[in-house]
Amino acid sequence: MSPDVLAFTATFALLSTFVVGGFALLFTEMRRLENKFDRALDRLDSKLNDQRRDLAEEFRAQRAEVLAQTTALANAITAARGL
Average pLDDT over residues 45-73: 96
Q: What is the pLDDT of residues 4-44, one digit of tens each?
A: 899 999 999 999 999 999 999 999 999 999 999 999 999 99
Indicate the pLDDT class of residue 70, thresholds 50, 70 and 90: very high
d(CA 72, CA 83): 17
**Sign of torsion, CA 18 21 23 25?**
negative
- The residue ranges of DSSP E strands in the chain, in sequence order, are none
Residue 3 pLDDT exceeds 90: no
Q: How far apart are CA 34 and CA 40, in angstroms?
A: 10
| pTM of the predicted model as reported, rounded to 2 decimal places | 0.54
